């Protein structure tokens, strides 16, 4: 659990660093039926087809949903930094078929 929290903290720090240096764009709000909408400029596009939206004071925050695959999760982990012990390669017993 501590490792997961550490990874989340590192991701948040990297994201904050990126956001501090990200350009600002002014956009127009418009109505889409009864909903208010905004077109997201290309340089702010998020990966995937879904996102999480929340309000923080007068800020509207839209975040990409993290990938849910095991491969994507494993890709976020740091290497162990140690070698695996050698595994003996023993000849299997003969099997009569």
Question: What is the third-level CATH fold of 2-75?
Answer: Pemi-like Protein 1; Chain: D (2.10.260)
Give yes or no for residue 71 having a pLDDT over 70. Answer: yes
Give yes or no for residue 97 having a pLDDT over 80. Answer: yes
- The band of 54, judged by pLDDT with boundaries at 50, 70 and 90, is very high
Parallel, antiparallel, or unpaired for β 59-64 and 51-56?
antiparallel
- The band of 72, judged by pLDDT with boundaries at 50, 70 and 90, is confident
Of residues 4 and 26, the one with the higher pLDDT is 26
Task: Find, among 18, 12, 4, 19, the residue nearest to 78 by Cα.
Answer: 4
d(CA 4, CA 36): 36
Q: What is the pTM of this model?
A: 0.45
* Residues 46/64, Cβ–Cβ less than 8 Å: yes
**Average pLDDT of 75-95?**
86
């Amino acid at each position: 659990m501590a490792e997961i929290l550490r990874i989340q903290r590192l991701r948040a720090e990297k994201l904050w660093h990126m956001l501090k240096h990200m350009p600002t764009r002014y956009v127009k709000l418009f109505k889409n039926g009864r909903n208010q909408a905004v077109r997201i400029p290309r340089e702010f596009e998020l990966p995937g087809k879904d996102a999480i939206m929340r309000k923080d004071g007068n800020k509207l925050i839209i975040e990409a949903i993290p990938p849910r695959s095991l491969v994507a999760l494993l890709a976020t982990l740091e290497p162990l930094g140690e070698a695996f012990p050698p595994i003996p390669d023993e000849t299997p017993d003969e099997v009569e078929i």
